[in-house]
Structure 1
Amino acid sequence: MHPTGPIARRFPLVARIRPACRPLDARVGRLQQPADTASRQTDPVLASTVFNQAALLVSGVGLPDCARELCHRDGSAETAIDHCLAFEPDDGLAVFTTRLVLTALDAAGSETPESRNLLARLTSRTGESGDGYALQDLLRHEGVRQHLAPVRRAALDRALAACALGSATLPDALRSLLEEALTHARKVLETSPFDPGSPGGNPLEQRNRTAPSSVVSASTQHLNSTP
C-alpha cells in the first residue's frame, strides 16, 4: 500500500456521524425552518447556527470567499476566536483542535492581535503534542508558515520529521520491535476464538473458530519484504 495512495488517504478510519450531503436544493431548503423559528422566537443562537450552516454549504460548493463573508456578517469569526482562546483540548483531540483553530483563523484573518495570540498558542500546543497529523495540518497552512519565526518553524519541521509520515522507511531496530509485537499478537489470535461481534464478523452467526495462521502471518511476511 503506497503511503500517499487512495487507500492510505482513507485513514485514520473513524466512525463518526456526519450529515449526508443531499442535493443542493434540499440543503438550502433545510435552512428555511430554523431561520423562520429564529425569527419568530428572536433566538440569536439559532440564527447564528443558520449563518454557520449556510457558510458550510457555500464552502462545500466551492465558494470560500462567500463563506468567509457569511462568517463575518454574523460575527462568527470573532466568536470562534474567543472560543478557541478559551478551549482546552482533551488528550487525543490535537488534530481536531488544530483544524478548529485554523478554520477560525481563515475566517477571521491573521492580522488582529487576537488572531496572532491564538496562532502563538496553537503552534505551542501542537508542538508540545508531538502529534504528526496535527503538525502536518499546521505546517501545510501557508498563512501559518509565513507568520512563524524561522527558529520556531524549524523546530516544528523537526518534530514532524520525527513522526516519519510518508517517509516510506522503517529503521531496522524499529522493524524488529514491530515484528516482535506482531509475533505476540499472532500467538494470541491463533489460540483465541474470534469475537462474532468484531469488525467483519456476523453478529447473527455465533461461531467459535480460530484465526488461520496463514492469514495473521501474512502481515509479518509483508513487513519483512518492505524496504
Structure 2
Amino acid sequence: MTATPVRVLIADDDELVRVGLRAVLGAEADLEVVGEAADGAAVLPAVTRLRPDVVLMDVRMPALDGIQATRLVLTRVDDPPRVLVVTTFENDEHVYAALRAGASGFLLKRARPAQIVDAVRLVARGDSLLFPAAIRRLTAAYGGAAGLPGAPLTEREAGVLRLMAAGLSNAEIAAELVLGVETVKTHVGNVLAKLGVRDRTQAVIAAYRSGFVPPG
C-alpha cells in the first residue's frame, strides 16, 4: 500500500524561489506541491482550500508578511498545517517573530535540496526543526526577558526540557536519561502542556527567554 504524499503549499513572493522549491519537492515521490501563494494574504484562503500538511512560508512578503500569515493559519484553521519558515538570513527578527507565532522551525533559502526535502519530512511527521545555537542568538537579540510560563515542572520534566533545548530528539533524550522513548514522549507532552506551547520550538524559546536554560 502506497503512503499518501505529504501535501505542501509554497508561500513566497519571489517566483524564482517558488519554481525552485516546486522542482526540488516535486522530484520526491512522497511529497506533493498542491499550491502556491505569492503573498501572505493569499495563504489562509489557500490553506483552507487545499488543506496542505506543510506550508513553506517566506517571512518577508507584501500586503501581509509571513509572521501574520503564520498566526492566522495556526489560529483560524482546524487541525492546521505545520509551518516551516524559509528565510535568507537566520539572525532575523522576523524569523524569531514567526517562531514565536507558532512556526515549527526555519530553513535557509541557500539550503541544499536534500536539506529542504528532509526538513519538510521532519515537520510533516510532527517534529520541530531546531537549531539550538540559532535560537539562542535570536532569543538573546530579540526575546527580552520573561519567566518560564505555565505550571511548575517536575525535576524529570525540567531535565527533559534542558535536553530539548540542546536539540536532542526523543530517542536521544531516552538514551541520555536511560528511559523508554514512549516515556520521554509522555514527559515532552507534559512539558508542552504545562508551558502552554504548541511544540518543541516554542518550548525551547521559552526555556532560553526565561533563563531556565542559560545562553551558554
Higher CA-based Rg: 1
TM-score normalised to structure 2 length: 0.30
Question: Quick check: which one's helix share is greater?
Answer: 1
Question: Quick check: which one's strand share is greater?
Answer: 2
